Structure 1
Amino acid sequence: MSVSSSLVSPTAPAAPTGSFTVDSSVLVLARDDSSAKVATSGLNAYGIPFTTVLVPQSGVTLPELSSSSGGNFGGIVVASEVSYDYGGIQGFQSALTTDQWNQLYSYQLEYGVRMVQYDVFPGPNYGASAIGSGCCDNGVEQEFSFTNIDDFPTSGLKTGAGVSTQGLWHYPATISNTTTTKEIAQFAANSSTSTAAVINDFDGRQQMAFFISFDTTWSPTSNYLQHAWITWLTRGLYAGYRRVNLNTQIDDMFLESDIYHPNGTTFRIRTGDLAATASWVTEINSKMNPGSEYFPEVGHNGNGNIEAASETGNGEAICNGGAIEYPEVPDTPLEFKKPLGTGTDRWPSTPTAYDWTTQCTDLDALKIWWATPENRDKFAHISHTFTHLEQNNATYSDVYKEISFNIAWLDQVGISSAKRFTANGIIPPAITGLHNGDALRAWSENGITNCVGDNTRPVLLNQQNEMHPYITTVEADGFAGMQVNGRWATRIYYNCDTPECTTQEWIDTSAGSGDFYDLLAVEKADTMRHLFGLHHDPYMFHQANLRQTDVQDITINGVTAKLSIFQAWVETMVQEFVRLVNWPLISLKHSDMSDSFAARVARDACKYSLNWAANNKQITGVTVSANGNTCNSPIPVTFPVDPTSTQGFRTEKIGNDPLTVWVQLSGTPVTFTLSTPIAF
């Protein structure tokens, strides 16, 4: 709980004479590292520069708020009033002194800077009064919904769309000062609806306050709500951008999967399943917000094509004796690091190069379907290696063949000529080989520069910034410089083709409880947390998940249809996303996704900034700069109103999203004038 004594808003000081500037970096005041991570996660997701100050119970000195040229911060965020329990009659109080609060208030008034507070107790400081002592006990639901977004329209949030507050302590309120305070959100009724968030205007000092705790590390609601305060605090004008990527990767295409339930069965995708999926891609796009473009991405294993062809008629003879076969590979510890030069070759000694003919590959109906451009180009494509050999303890020779044979096969069957094809990346089999320097060298020598990892494994995550990829090192992985992009696992398991199968595996292996719809509800919560956290990592699926032609109908949001478990997952996520926001959903092929991660790293290294030019209580323009004012990666700047000129830089205006200008710094700062000034 967070309660502080009533503070006094100062009289507005005189504004600086003439024009002045404000650095748009956001000042974040938080109690500790964990609360600071929650407060800054959204800013980091957008790429908005910020400065964090930790405020211990003993207090802290505030940073310099202004200088001779203007303001040093374009927004202030205070988490939970940085309050502590001081015991006795003091109780919960802010660790900032009254003088420090008034310094912040004076700074706001002087420079037109807004403040956001969350996890606060309704009181005079927020123009509201509490109803009771707070809510709620475990299992009690009181949904949060926005009632008015007029002051932050570029947020794209939908009013009246309720989101769960379970696990987030909150304080139902009523507005006590209608002159200074406006409701922007409500809690759903227990006995009656109540105010959940407000905007205050105290004689020019503007503040947004949420009467609910936040935790973006687990709560989809917190990740959703942060877009209100970020767009309001910045007035929709910031260095950074907002984009949601829905990337779904389907591994093991052409292979046969052993099915978890019923045990002892197998499944290999049929052309009818693929045709249904291809038609559905058009249908699901029609359900998305304007500007959306969604397509699945497929990871191919060419040896599965040779296996299937060899099993038809005289296919073994036509296919040079059949596919690559080798003894079962023993498992290794998950993070096994193979000593360089060790291991046992598993591949047969021949062939030494890919030598199967089109006459062979055409014996498989699945290959014929994928080789048809109209079918092929509904999807994106990437290599998943030739046989799916697990690579933790694989030799350089075997891995080199895994990559080079699949490259040759992708070229032969025409998949590498697809509209969306990634040549420089792979999906590693079972996400293995990432600590095997011999494997990584073999990848690199075949033109592979990046791959996907596994977000459940901390050693494959960037520990400095969760929006950056992991880069392999010689010390940790035996090879330096391979880019490992994050990827989310789902509860749609690799060895399942029906709802019954994946639900049973969820129950047996992950303490799941309930039916397939319960599984989808858990998936929805996790996925909304990722999407509204602006994580661009793809989601993992497998070929068996696309079984469609002979499955039972599924009802998703009141619509009953024949859907694969993959389709049911996507339908669930899309419909929830569209319910909550008007943003587009954009898919990227693997190489474009990987490039976007690398670009983020490059521009963050430039330490870019955005300064407002202000005059007469209006923002009239902005200047983009960076260390040395040169940056190898363009810097995104988001505008709520058009600049008078975009100066030839690349621009994006997708669907309902605001305009983003990608600014290339080449030695000097770049200044834009706003076509319409933004009032303080």
Structure 2
Amino acid sequence: MYSFSDLIKRTAVRRGQRRLAATLLCGAMLGIATGVLTSLPASAQTQVPATSINMRMLVVSADGTEPVLAGIKSILDQLNVPYDVLIASQTPLTASTLSDGNGNGYYQGIFLTTGNLAYDAGGGNWQSALTADQWQTLWQYETTFRVRQSTLYTYPVGAPDNYCLSMPNPQGTDTNTTPVNATLTTAGKKVFSYLNPSNPVSIQKAWTYLAQPGTGGTLTPLLSTSSGNPIASICTYADGRQNLTITTDGNPDLIHTLSLGYGVINWVSKGVFLGERHVYMAPQPDDMLLDDDLWDVALHTTNSNLSYRVSGPDYNKLIQWQSTMNAAHPNNAKITLEIPFNGVGASGEYQNDTLTPAIKKNDLPFRWISHTWDHELLTGMSYADSTNELAWNNTQAKNLRLVKYFKDSMIQPEISGLDNPYFLQAAWDFGIRYILSDTSQPGWNNPSPNTGFYSTYVTGLLIIPRYPTNCYYNVHTPAEWVDEYNSFYGPSGTMPYWDHNLSYAEILDKESDIWLRYLLKYSINPVMFHQANLYPYDGNNNVMGDLINRTLAKYNAISTLPIVSLAQHDIGVRMASRMAYNNAGVSARLILGSTSSQIQVTAANSATNVPITGVSAGTTEKYGGQTISTITVSASSTVTVAGPAW
């Protein structure tokens, strides 16, 4: 279980100072002459031709405090795109920052947190973090190396550039009160090809400038309001430079930041970069074959006299629910539950057991994973008892004839045993390679996106972080969930947050917003539920399914990317691969030719799965209309593959 306060407090961007900074810098900036500089004079052009570019991005920040800085870093990290951050008010930008002066560039794309890089130099003295000469140096590099730029939060008037925009009556809007809806243009549908063009992009909780087309170059709107205000646009200058301009603020948790982020990075990189993306969903309802205590809506507490265990008919309803969900939208087609089971529940412990024969008759719709034999906590368990818990459950998997089952993966009861060396050694010796942690517990969230931990007790045992939910283990009807949820977060709850007790629809809305962010952040982590959540409370629907359906409705309204649904075994394989790649010291360089290029990939340590989006080499996959390649690079060696036209 987690608190909403940390997440929701992060979703509102700071507006006042940045808005003031933009206004103070309208028309002129300290060190920059009044007017708009749209192209480089011929005398400023370098005479050294570009021969190569590092496949690395540069993010330039004014002072390191901009919310959009955290936003772009978050998305680059999730994609695993290499980048550097330059805090321009602290470290001067020079020609040697960008290239060696002999035709070898250090960055294939540039991101500016704001259009003018304004910051408070002290006492309300707002100025640009770049001098006029530094702006010229940046533009010269972009021209010479044909490198694209994006300004992530842009005031569309004044120095150093208006980015092909104007605002004759300076205005903006606080979308905390009134969201701004913007629609993809024809050009925008190409840049943001993964967004659902049938629905507008909703801008909320961020100050937004409502600009108009201006001068200085050729404007190509990508995302516009009904009044013709370009929220996202491309400005093409006479010297060939291009900038993708966004006029709304953002941060790592705002839906519009997450929705637009990939398209911005992909455009700046010209569709070729180190890294990759997939959208993932892996629900895991624990405790199958056991019963769970239930929440008592009369007593407002868990009541051990009330319990629920999935029955055979309920199990068949779950199959129907998954089938209906898969068929509801193309993005949903591959989503598959992975069911953690406790084999003791199929050993005759329950009278009139209809669940066990139902599973034996039809296990194929689901994946299956061991949850130990009888759900005993592993915190202080001996080596021998731990081995028995695993062996007995594995035998039961064979008895149940579970086809989609991996012996090398398990889920610990209540995520216990992470500090028990006897259990961990027993698990390894038995053949377990992938276990779980709980992201809500201190120190057990992903150390970096889509990575986990190797056990400090048993080398090689990978611990995969899993998200909890506020769909509690002991609720099997909407009424129970509403009552327990409000006992925590209602105005009279133990952790009061909301100003009123939420309805079932409101709870689904809040919880699905959180899960939606997991999807839009390309997070691979599985998500925890429990078997009580699978009860068909109205004959067809279950509370877990209601939350999944609500999340998918929001996701499918935004994105056209199909959801990848993996077994914990496969999550572990991908997570381990990413961790190995992160530790391999991989770098890449575009070698530029007159009509084409090559990519040289080098690794300090052996890397078996180096991801490159936008080229075909090694093992390839088509996803979201792009090719994702994975190649192998031996230690201290270089692999060359065909690159794009640059």
Alignment of 1:273-312 (within 5 A): 273-289=314-330, 292-306=333-347, 309-312=348-351
Segments of structure 1 that go 5 or more residues without pairing to the other structure are 313-362, 553-561
Closer, same or farther: CA 117–22 of 1 in aligned 2, 3 Å: same
Q: Please give the alpha-carbon distance, in whole angstroms, between the structure 2 residues aligned to 1:457 and 1:59.
A: 41
**Residue 551 (structure 1) aligned with residue 551 (structure 2):** no
Match of 1:449 in 2: 433
Alpha-carbon distance in 1 for matches of 2:180, 2:189: 24
Per the TM alignment, residue 133 of structure 1 is displaced from its structure 2 partner at its CA by 4.2
1:659 has 2:627 as partner: yes
The residue aligned with 1:93 is: 127
Structure 1 residue 187 displacement after superposition: 4.6
Q: Is 1:213–2:249 an aligned residue pair?
A: yes
The answer (yes or no) to whether the contact 1:473–1:481 under 8 Å persists in 2 is: no
Q: How far apart, CA to CA, are the structure 2 residues paired with 1:178 and 1:33?
A: 30
CA contact (8 A) 2:331 2:556 kept: no
- 2:11 alignment counterpart: none
Q: d(CA) in 2 for partners of 1:437 and 1:525?
A: 38
Structure 2 CA distance for aligned equivalents of residues 62 and 249 of structure 1: 52
User: Which deviations, in whole Å up to 9, do the C-alpha atoms of 1:350-407 show, x marking residues without a partner?
Assistant: xxxxxxxxxxxxx7321111122xx211111111111112233444444333222212
Offset at residue 230 of structure 1 (A)? 1.0
Query: Which residue in the other structure is 1:387 paired with?
Result: 374
Give a deviation string over 1:101-129, Cα, whole Å, max 9, x none: 21111110101101111122122522223
Q: Does 1:625 align with 2:601?
A: yes
Cα deviation, residue 304, structure 1:
2.2
**In structure 1, C-alpha distance between the alignment counterparts of 2:47 and 2:535, rounded to whole Å:** 67
Show the counterpart of 1:173. 211
Once the two structures are superposed, the pairs formed by residues 571-650 of structure 1 within 5 Å of their partners are 571-616=549-594, 620-628=596-604, 631-639=606-614, 643=616, 646=617, 649-650=618-619
Contact 2:213/2:219 (8 A) holds in 1: yes
Q: Hey, what does 1:534 align to over in structure 2?
A: 522
Query: Secondary structure at the residue paired with 1:611?
Result: strand
Task: Specify the code of the residue in structure 2 equivalent to 1:613.
Answer: I
Does the aligned pair in 2 maintain the 1:583–1:657 contact within 8 Å?
A: no
CA distance in structure 2 between the aligned counterparts of 1:149 and 1:604, rounded to whole angstroms:
35
TM-superposed deviation, 1:61: 5.7
> Which deviations, in whole Å up to 9, do the C-alpha atoms of 1:76-107 show, x marking residues without a partner?
1111344212467x753321222112111111
TM-score (norm 2): 0.84
| Paired residues of 1:33 and 1:54 also in contact (CA < 8 A) | no
Instruction: Kindly indicate whether the alpha-carbon contact (under 8 Å) linking 1:610 and 1:622 is maintained by their aligned counterparts in 2.
Output: no
2:470 maps to which of 491, 500, 512: 491
1:402 matched to 2:386 = no
CA deviation after TM superposition for structure 1 residue 7, in Å: 5.5
Q: CA 1:311 to 1:75, structure 2 compared with 1: closer, same or farther past 3 Å?
A: closer
TM-score (norm 1): 0.80
1:460-512 per-residue CA deviation (whole Å, 9 max, x = no partner) reads 1344x2332122325xxxx5543211211222221111122222222211345
Distance 1:158 1:445 in 2: 48
Distance 1:56 1:472 in 2: 41
**Per-residue CA shift, 1:287-327, capped at 9, x if unaligned?**
33369522110000112223xx2343xxxxxxxxxxxxxxx
What is the rounded CA distance, in whole Å, between the counterparts of 1:234 and 1:380 in structure 2? 38
**1:137: how far off?**
6.3
SS of 1:135's equivalent in the other structure is strand
Q: Please give the residue correspondences for 1:667-678 in structure 2 after superposition, counting only pairs within 5 Å.
A: 668-673=637-642, 678=645
- For the aligned residue pairs, the C-alpha RMSD in angstroms reads 2.7
**Match in the other structure for 2:222:** 184
Find 1:51's aligned residue among 84, 96, 104. 84
**Distance (whole Å) between structure 2 residues aligned to residue 653 and residue 466 of structure 1:** 22
Q: Partners of 1:400 and 1:16 in 2: how far apart?
A: 70
| Alignment correspondent of 1:347 | none
Q: Tell me by how many angstroms 1:169 deviates.
A: 2.0
Partner deviation per Cα, 1:507-531 (whole Å, 9 max, x = no partner): 2113454212211221222122111
The match for 2:494 is none
In structure 2, how many angstroms separate the alpha carbons of the residues matched to 1:46 and 1:591? 21
Query: Any idea what SS the aligned residue of 1:486 has?
Result: strand
Which residue identity does 1:247 align to in structure 2? A
**Any conservation in 1 of the 2:326–2:332 contact (CA below 8 Å)?**
no
> What CA distance in whole angstroms lies between the structure 2 residues aligned with 1:291 and 1:459?
32
How far apart, in 1, do the equivalents of 2:335 and 2:446 lie? 27
Which residue number corresponds to residue 226 of structure 1? 261
Whole-angstrom CA distance in 2 between matches of 1:16 and 1:378:
64
Q: Which residue of the other structure, out of 444, 468, 492, is the alignment partner of 2:451?
A: 468
**Which residue pairs with 2:164 in the alignment?**
127
- Tell whether 2:420 aligns with 1:436: yes
State whether residues 474 and 532 of structure 2, in contact with CA within 8 Å, keep that contact through their aligned partners in structure 1.
yes
Distance 1:59 1:607, change over 3 A: same
Report the Cα distance in structure 1 between the residues aligned to 2:296 and 2:181, rounded to whole angstroms. Answer: 37
Conserved in 1, the CA contact under 8 Å of 2:188 and 2:221?
A: no
Question: How far did residue 605 of structure 1 move?
Answer: 1.6
Seen in structure 2, the aligned counterparts of structure 1 residues 303 and 147 have a Cα distance that, compared at 3 Å, is same
Q: 1:515 to 1:193 in 2, by over 3 A?
A: farther
- Name the SS for the 1:376 alignment partner: coil
Query: Structure 1 residues 154 and 133 mapped into 2: Cα distance closer, same or farther (>3 Å)?
Result: closer
The letter of the residue matching 2:454 is I
Give the counterpart of 1:32 among 64, 84, 91: 64
CA distance in 2, matches of 1:574, 1:624: 40
SS of residue matched to 1:489: coil
C-alpha displacement at 1:451, in angstroms? 1.2
CA displacement at 1:589 relative to structure 2: 0.8
- Please report how far the alpha carbon of residue 651 of structure 1 lies from its aligned counterpart in structure 2 after TM superposition: 1.3
| CA distance in 1: counterparts of 2:527 and 2:95, whole angstroms | 42
For the pair 1:11 / 2:41, whether they are aligned, the reply is yes
| Residue aligned with 2:336, SS | coil
Given residue 577 of structure 2, which amino acid in structure 1 is its aligned partner? A
User: Where does residue 337 of structure 1 map in the other structure?
Assistant: none
- Counterpart residue identity of residue 466, structure 1: P
The question of whether the paired residues in 2 share the 8 Å contact of 1:120 and 1:210 is answered with yes
2:504 aligned to which of 506, 516, 519: 516
Which of the numbers 339, 360, 365 marks the counterpart of 1:371? 360
**Percent of pairs with identical residues:** 23
Runs of 4 or more off by more than 6 Å in structure 1? 15-19
Once residues 58 and 293 of structure 2 are traced to their aligned partners in structure 1, the CA distance between those partners, rounded to angstroms, is 53
Q: Report deviation, 1:454.
A: 1.3
Q: Are the equivalent residues in 1 in contact too, given 2:315–2:355 (CA < 8 A)? A: no
**What is the alpha-carbon distance in structure 1 between the residues aligned to residue 140 and residue 530 of structure 2?**
57
User: Are the equivalent residues in 2 in contact too, given 1:154–1:231 (CA < 8 A)?
Assistant: no
Match of 2:113 in 1: 79
TM-aligned CA distance change 1:271 to 1:291, over 3 Å = closer
Number of residue pairs matched by the alignment: 590
State the 1:658 CA deviation.
Answer: 0.9
Specify the SS of the correspondent of 1:143. strand
Partner secondary structure for residue 453 of structure 1: strand
Cα distance in 2 for residues equivalent to 1:540 and 1:19 = 51
What is the rounded CA distance, in whole Å, between the counterparts of 2:468 and 2:295 in structure 1?
17
Q: Is the 8 A contact 1:25 1:73 kept in 2?
A: yes
Work out the CA distance in 2 between the residues paired with 1:397 and 1:297: 27
Report the Cα distance in structure 2 between the residues aligned to 1:160 and 1:10, rounded to whole angstroms.
40
* Structure 1 residue 270: Cα displacement: 1.6
Q: CA deviation at 1:159?
A: 3.1
| 1:194 aligned onto 2:229 | yes
Distance 1:239 1:283, change over 3 A: same
Distance in 1 of aligned mates of 2:528 and 2:620: 31
Give 1:243's match in structure 2, choosing from 258, 278, 284.
278
Amino acid across the alignment from 1:105: W
